[in-house]
Each structure stands twice: as structure tokens, then as C-alpha cells.
Structure 1
Amino acid sequence: MKGILFALLGGACITLQGVANTRISQDIGTWQAATITQLTGFIIAALIWVFVRDGKLGDFKKVKPLYLAGGGFAAIIIFTEVTAIQQIGVTLTISALLIAQLCLTFIIDINGWFGVVKQKMKMPQFIGLAMMIAGVIILKF
């Protein structure tokens, strides 16, 4: 249950961040909005880390360099989300983002990439994904 609550909170924050970044980008530009978002996110995360102290600085050496590129993905996420919101609106953007996430997670799970346990996807999962795609198509029209 706790995981679901965190997922819901995260999803709400993604939407709020997208809307806020779109407003910021209208005033100063999209890459500038991405920069401010990344900077404030870094500062807040660093402050929380300083107070929580749930890890050691040396633990960063254990992380594979490929995974350290995650922050770079965030800049691309912010830019593309802001651009999409400006062109197609919040609802359709978030819906399309969720479908893209689900499609990629299916591929990751099926292939066991990034060290995750391989999962077998069955017909109900594919039907669910197809229904979500159909829902986005309906939202568009």
C-alpha cells in the first residue's frame, strides 16, 4: 500500500512539475526552465540527504557510470514534456507519457535489462496497454 501511495504522489508531482515548467518556460525559455528545475531539485535533494544521512558519499563509487546518466534524462524529459504541454495540453501529454513509460517498461521487463528479473507478459497486460492507447486516441478526438 505504501508503494502505491508513493507512486500516486510521484505521479501528481510529475504533472505539477510539467505545468510549472511550462509556465516558467513561457517567461524565460524551455532549456532555462529545465535548468532551474534541475538546480532546485538538486538543492532540495542535497539538503534532504544532509539531514537524513542514509548513505555514504563513498557509495557513489558502487554505481555503474551508465546509471549516473539518469540526471541527463531528466533534462530531456523536462524539455519534451514542456514542449508537448504547449502543443497538445496537459491531459494528452501526461497520457502519452504514461503509455511511453509502460511500453518501455514492458521491453525492459521482458528482456531483463538493467538487472531486473525477467517477466513474462501475458495477454491481459497487452490488452491493458491497448486499452490505454485507445483511451489516449479517444482523448485526442
Structure 2
Amino acid sequence: MRGSLFAFLGGAFITLQGVANTRISRDIGTWQAATITQLTGFIMALIILMFVRDRKWKRLNQVKPLYLTGGALGAVIIFSNVTAIQRIGVTLSISIILIAQLSLTFFIDSKGWFGLVKQKMKLPQFIGLGLMIAGVVILRF
């Protein structure tokens, strides 16, 4: 239940962040908006980390270097989301973003990448993805 709640909150905040970044980018530019977003995100995470103090930093050397670059993807994510929202609107952008996320996660799960347990994709998952794509096509027209 808590996992679903956090997923819902994460999705809601991704949408709010996309809209806020789009507004910022209109005033100062898209890469500037991405920079500010990354900086304020870093500051917020650092403040929270200071309160948590769980000392897990000691295990940083156990993390594969490739995974440490994950935060750098945030700049590309922000730029892409802002540009999409400016060109096709929030609803269509978020719909396509979700389809892209699900499509990639199907591939990652089926291959067991990143140390995840391989998952077999079944017909209901493909039907669900197909319905989402059909929904986007309907939204577009």
C-alpha cells in the first residue's frame, strides 16, 4: 500500500515539476530551468539527508560507477519534458512519457537488466500498453 502511495505521489510531483519547469523555461530558458531544478533538488535532498543521518555513505564504493551517473540523466529528462510540454501540452506529454517508461521497463524486466529478477511479460501487460497507446492516439486527435 505504501509503495502505491509513493508511486502516486511521485507521478503527481513529476507532473507538477514538468509544469513548473516549463514556466521557468519561458522566462529564462530550458537549460537554465534544468540547472535550477537540479540545484534545488540537490539542496532539498541534502537537507533531508542531514536529518536522516543513516550513515549509508560508507557503502558508496559498492555502487557500480555507471549507476552513479543516474542523476545526470535528470538534465536530459527535464529538457525533454519541458520541450514536450511546450510543444504538445501537459496531458499528451505525460501520456507519452508514461508509455515510454512502461515500454522501457518491459524491456528491462524481460532481460533482467540492472540486477533485477527477470519478469515474463504476459498478454495482459501488452494489452494494457496497447490500450495506453490507443488512448494517446485518441487524445492526439
TM-score per shorter chain, which class?
Answer: over 0.9
Normalising by structure 2, we get a TM-score of 0.98
2:67 match: 67
1:89 match: 89
Q: Gapped runs of 5+ residues in structure 1?
A: none
Q: Gapped runs of 5+ residues in structure 2?
A: none
Alignment partners' CA distance in 2, 1:67 and 1:80: 21
1:34 match: 34
Alignment partners' CA distance in 2, 1:69 and 1:50: 22
Residue 21 (str. 1) matches residue 17 (str. 2): no
Which amino acid in the other structure matches residue 40 of structure 1?
T
Which amino acid in the other structure matches residue 61 of structure 1?
N
Task: Write the deviation string for residues 4-58 of structure 1: whole angstroms up to 9, x where unpaired.
Answer: 0000000000000000000000000000000000000000001100111123322
Alignment partners' CA distance in 1, 2:54 and 2:140: 44
Residue 8 (str. 1) matches residue 17 (str. 2): no
Query: Matched residue of 2:22: which SS?
Result: helix
Equivalenced residue count is 141
Structure 1's consecutive aligned runs of 4 or more residues displaced over 3 angstroms after TM superposition are none
User: Deviation of residue 76 (structure 1)?
Assistant: 0.3
User: Deviation of residue 70 (structure 1)?
Assistant: 0.7
Normalising by structure 1, we get a TM-score of 0.98
1:112 match: 112
